[in-house]
Copies of this chain bind each other. A is one copy, B any other.
Amino acid sequence: MVMYNRITAAAYRLLNQNKHSSFKIAHQRQLSPNFSRYNRSSSTSLAGFRHHCATVNLNQFHASYRWDLQKLSLVQFQNLSLIHHRSFGSVASTVVQRNPMFSTINSDDLIYFEKILGVKKVIQDHEELQTANTDWMHKYKGSSKLMLQPENATELSQILEYCNSRRLAVVPQGGNTGLVGGSVPVFDEIIINTRRMNSIIFFDKVSGVLVCEAGCILENLISFLDKEGFIMPLDLGAKGSCQIGGNISTNAGGLRLVRYGSLHGTVLGLEVVLANGSVIDMLGTLRKDNTGYDLKHLFIGSEGSLAIITKVSILTSPKLSSVNIAFLACQDYISCQKLLFQAKRRLGEILSAFEFLDAQAMNLVLHHLDGARNPLPSAIYNFYVLIETTGSNESNDKEKLEAFLVHAMESSLVSDGALAQDYSQATSFWHIREGIPEALMKAGAVYKYDLSLPVEKMYDLVEEMRIRLGAAANVVGYGHLGDGNLHLNVSAPQYDDAILAQIEPFVYEWTSRHRGSISAEHGLGLMKAEKIYYSKSSETVQLMASIKKILDPNGILNPYKVIPSSLVS
């Protein structure tokens, strides 16, 4: 309860990353006009339905699994210049030591920055710095004395060239909406804020290619495109604050991934500035370009540790007019999987969301979330699935969705279901899925994990966690089933190290054993830099460090993050 009180309504909006947003709802104008209820009336045989894996040579696959858990050594505790960051849901506090190779800012530095930027872009105001030093969840707090706000790549290039020569560490900061302490200083790093680079440069309605500066706020891009009849391939709850450069630096996932894929597929080009000040122009606008290594991918998801993004070219999609939303009940997890399989096949080209929650999540929502109402009140089911379709033809889409639902009912995959008939019903369906984090926080202490796992294994972890924790806690599973992204949450009356010790490192080890990812969409930042070996082989991490060394030999870009400290000299 204390936690929830600390989070304001505005902050809560940001918290709703990865969930459906009010904006998206606001465009659901053409919902199916009749509200339909389906009740399972027959038990059509499931015989002949094949699911799971067609395993051709599974032994060979398992044999290749050898991520190096031995590398998971604890960081060395040292006495000098230590900062302790309390990470909710981690066994130990993260202990980081300031790198003594870095200089501290002096008056000559300030004179230089004011000379190249002008006074107003060199921020030393205590209040502004206070905000910029703190992440929005107030988990991480740095002590930077300086924020610079370059207006273009040339100014940024001058800044970085200087900082590199002076060994002044920097932290790139966009909307500062990250969840892993990646966008705030750890010590006294200079904050390089990208907000002044916020122009839309070019939009081509034929190809749908948008070129803009990195500091454009995502919501502004969404609004701009809306007027042109297009949508961004990316949408997330933090869109009112987050910037496209930050989205790309962290490879944000969000709500549209199941339909439009990851940013590695939709980002066509980037301009970045390296630590030494080199401006790298990879700002192509082409869907096809096989002239050498496609280096832009290095900077997508590297969390500002290899370069700072200054311009972006991204492929946008035409906005489609017809949206339908169904809320369904399934008796077991295998039915959810089969439903996903069927949805991909029968709704393939119009499927735009496939979200799931378990009965525990539903119970929490119904007990703690204002205005939440069960669309399927006749019974409590074990699982609920929210399906959204988006297409170009209302009657076709509705017909397709209804045929899919009838089939799902007849196949007993779905026990009950409701199809939203208007904006209000659509909103109430999404309210349940979106309201889970709020309900969890109202229920007490919560330990949160953002995991990618093979869909068929995903819920096993929730069930194993329930067995481990017994009556001590309420284990809740929900997430983007269509993307294989589980939000595992453990709810307890209050924080308790005994519970935490039961969860970690078990949850990371389990995820690693099933070749999952311990950070599906939030990145590593400061919070999980030392946990990278759970999801990456030691050879891969070594290679990451080698590439970091080439691009940022003095390690001035976003230090203490992403790369384990043992590999940073």
Interface residues of A in 325-372 (CB under 8 A from B): 337, 340-341, 344-350
Question: Is the pair B348, A392 in contact by a Cβ cutoff of 8 Å?
Answer: yes
Is A3 part of the contact surface with B, judged by Cβ < 8 Å? no
Is A292 part of the contact surface with B, judged by Cβ < 8 Å? yes
Residue in contact with A348 in the complex, picked from B153, B257, B280, B320, CB distance below 8 Å: B320
Is A287 part of the contact surface with B, judged by Cβ < 8 Å? yes
Interface residues of A in 296-327 (CB under 8 A from B): 297-298, 300-302, 306, 311, 317-318, 320
Residue in contact with A205 in the complex, picked from B51, B208, B400, B483, CB distance below 8 Å: B51
A287 to B484, CA, bound (A): 7
Known: A294-B301, A344-B208. A55 touches B287 (CB 8 A): no
A200 to B118, CA, bound (A): 61
Known: A199-B60, A286-B452, A300-B294. A52 touches B519 (CB 8 A): no
A188 to B207, CA, bound (A): 45
Is A69 part of the contact surface with B, judged by Cβ < 8 Å? no
Is A26 part of the contact surface with B, judged by Cβ < 8 Å? no
Is A391 part of the contact surface with B, judged by Cβ < 8 Å? yes
How many copies make up the complex?
Answer: 2
Known: A51-B205, A207-B455, A539-B281. A293 touches B544 (CB 8 A): yes
Question: Is the pair A61, B523 in contact by a Cβ cutoff of 8 Å?
Answer: no
Question: Is the pair B205, A50 in contact by a Cβ cutoff of 8 Å?
Answer: yes
Known: A280-B543, A288-B485. A202 touches B53 (CB 8 A): yes
A271 to B65, CA, bound (A): 11
Is A129 part of the contact surface with B, judged by Cβ < 8 Å? no
Contacts of A285 in B (CB 8 A): 454, 515
Is A203 part of the contact surface with B, judged by Cβ < 8 Å? yes
Question: Is the pair B200, A56 in contact by a Cβ cutoff of 8 Å?
Answer: yes
Question: Is the pair B206, A51 in contact by a Cβ cutoff of 8 Å?
Answer: yes
Interface residues of A in 41-75 (CB under 8 A from B): 50-58, 60-61, 64, 66-67
Known: A288-B520, A290-B251, A292-B541. A202 touches B281 (CB 8 A): no
Is A393 part of the contact surface with B, judged by Cβ < 8 Å? yes
Question: Is the pair B53, A204 in contact by a Cβ cutoff of 8 Å?
Answer: yes
Residue in contact with A257 in the complex, picked from B201, B261, B287, CB distance below 8 Å: B287
Question: Is the pair A550, B546 in contact by a Cβ cutoff of 8 Å?
Answer: yes
A387 to B184, CA, bound (A): 50
Question: Is the pair A292, B200 in contact by a Cβ cutoff of 8 Å?
Answer: no
Is A568 part of the contact surface with B, judged by Cβ < 8 Å? no
Known: A287-B257, A287-B262. A201 touches B60 (CB 8 A): yes
A208 to B350, CA, bound (A): 17
Question: Is the pair A290, B519 in contact by a Cβ cutoff of 8 Å?
Answer: yes
A140 to B351, CA, bound (A): 47
Contacts of A403 in B (CB 8 A): 393
Known: A286-B516, A396-B396, A396-B399. A318 touches B348 (CB 8 A): yes
Q: Tell which of A206, A283, A345, A400 has the most Cβ of chain B within 10 Å.
A: A206
Residue in contact with A281 in the complex, picked from B64, B297, B396, B532, CB distance below 8 Å: B64
Question: Is the pair A340, B297 in contact by a Cβ cutoff of 8 Å?
Answer: no
Chain B nearest CB from A36 CB (Å) reads 19
Question: Is the pair B286, A484 in contact by a Cβ cutoff of 8 Å?
Answer: yes
Chain B nearest CB from A372 CB (Å) reads 27
Question: Is the pair B202, A483 in contact by a Cβ cutoff of 8 Å?
Answer: no
Is A521 part of the contact surface with B, judged by Cβ < 8 Å? yes
Is A186 part of the contact surface with B, judged by Cβ < 8 Å? no
Contacts of A563 in B (CB 8 A): 292
A311 to B57, CA, bound (A): 13
Chain B nearest CB from A322 CB (Å) reads 10
Contacts of A60 in B (CB 8 A): 199, 201
Is A489 part of the contact surface with B, judged by Cβ < 8 Å? no
CB closest residue in chain B, given A302:
B293
Known: A56-B202, A290-B522. A284 touches B528 (CB 8 A): no
A50 to B205, CA, bound (A): 9
Is A282 part of the contact surface with B, judged by Cβ < 8 Å? yes
CB closest residue in chain B, given A485:
B288
Known: A289-B452, A293-B544, A484-B288. A206 touches B337 (CB 8 A): yes
CB closest residue in chain B, given A299:
B293
Contacts of A393 in B (CB 8 A): 396, 399-400, 403
Residue in contact with A204 in the complex, picked from B52, B280, B562, CB distance below 8 Å: B52
Contacts of A290 in B (CB 8 A): 250-251, 253, 301, 517, 519-524
Question: Is the pair A203, B280 in contact by a Cβ cutoff of 8 Å?
Answer: no
Contacts of A400 in B (CB 8 A): 392-393, 396
Question: Is the pair A271, B524 in contact by a Cβ cutoff of 8 Å?
Answer: no
Question: Is the pair A265, B271 in contact by a Cβ cutoff of 8 Å?
Answer: no
Given contacts A349-B349, A393-B400, A546-B550, 14 further A-B contacts (CB under 8 A): A54-B203, A54-B205, A56-B203, A205-B341, A264-B294, A264-B297, A279-B539, A285-B515, A286-B520, A288-B521, A289-B535, A293-B562, A318-B344, A396-B396
What are 5 A-B interface contacts by the 8 Å CB criterion?
A54-B204, A280-B539, A291-B534, A396-B399, A396-B400
Q: What 3 A-B pairs are tightest by C-beta distance, nearest first? A: A265-B265, A297-B297, A289-B517
